[in-house]
A and B are shown apart, each in its own frame.
Chain A
Amino acid sequence: MTAEWVFNLYVFVLATFVGYQVISRVPPLLHTPLMSGTNAISGISLVASLIAAGSDHRLSQILGFIAVTCASINVVGGFLITDRMLRMFHKKKPAPLAATPAAKSLAGAKP
Chain B
Amino acid sequence: MTPTAVLLSLCYVVASALFILCLRGLSGPESARRGLVLGEVGMLIAVVGTLLHKDIVRYDWILGGLVLGSGIGVGISAWIPMTKMPERIAMSHAFGGLASALVGVAEYNRQLGHLSHFEMGALGFEVFLGFLTFTASWMAFGKLQGVITGAPITYKGQNFVNLLMFIGVLVALVYLIIWPENPAVFYALCGAGLIIGITGVLPIGGADMPVVISLNNSYAGLAACATGFALGSQILIISGALDGASGFLLSLLMSKAMNRSFANILFGAFGTDIAPTQQMGTAKAYNEATVEDAGAVLKASQSVIFVPGYGMAVSQAQHAVRDLAASLERRGVDVKYAIHPVAGRMPGHMNVLLAEANVPYDKLFDLDDINDDFARTDAVIIVGANDVVNPAAKKDPASPIYGMPVFNVEQSRSVIVLKRSMNPGFSGVENELFFQPNTMMVLGDAKKTLLSMINELKDGGH
Interface of A toward B, CB cutoff 8 Å: 1, 4-5, 8, 11-12, 15-16, 18-20, 22-57, 59-93, 96-97, 100-103, 105-108
Contacts and interface: CB of A to CB of B under 8 A. Distances in A.
B32 interface: yes
A45 B358 CA distance: 35
Q: Report, nearest first, the 8 A-B pairs whose CB atoms are least far apart.
A: A68-B65, A72-B69, A31-B348, A77-B73, A19-B245, A54-B56, A76-B73, A101-B369
Contacts of A78: 73, 92
A44 B47 CA distance: 8
Interface of B: 15-16, 19-20, 22-24, 26-29, 32-33, 36, 39-40, 43, 46-47, 50-51, 53, 55-59, 61-62, 64-66, 68-70, 72-74, 76-78, 80, 82, 85, 88-89, 92-93, 95-96, 98-100, 102-103, 105-107, 109-110, 116, 118, 213-214, 217, 220-221, 223-225, 227-229, 231-250, 253, 339, 341, 346-349, 351-352, 355-356, 358, 360-366, 369-370
9 contacts: A28-B348, A31-B351, A39-B96, A40-B39, A66-B65, A70-B95, A75-B47, A84-B77, A102-B363
A71 B61 contact: no
B244 A82 contact: no
A71 B355 CA distance: 28
Given A54-B53, A54-B59, 5 more contacts: A28-B253, A49-B102, A51-B53, A55-B55, A68-B65
A22 B242 CA distance: 9
A45 B110 contact: no
A101 B365 contact: yes
A27 B27 contact: yes
Contact of A34 (B65, B234, B348, B366): B348
B210 to A, nearest CB: 9
Contacts of B88: 36, 81
B50 A47 contact: yes
A11 to B, nearest CB: 5
Contact of A69 (B27, B28, B72, B362): B72
Contact of B26 (A18, A30, A62, A75): A30
Contacts of B360: 90-93, 96
Contact of B22 (A41, A61, A84, A103): A41
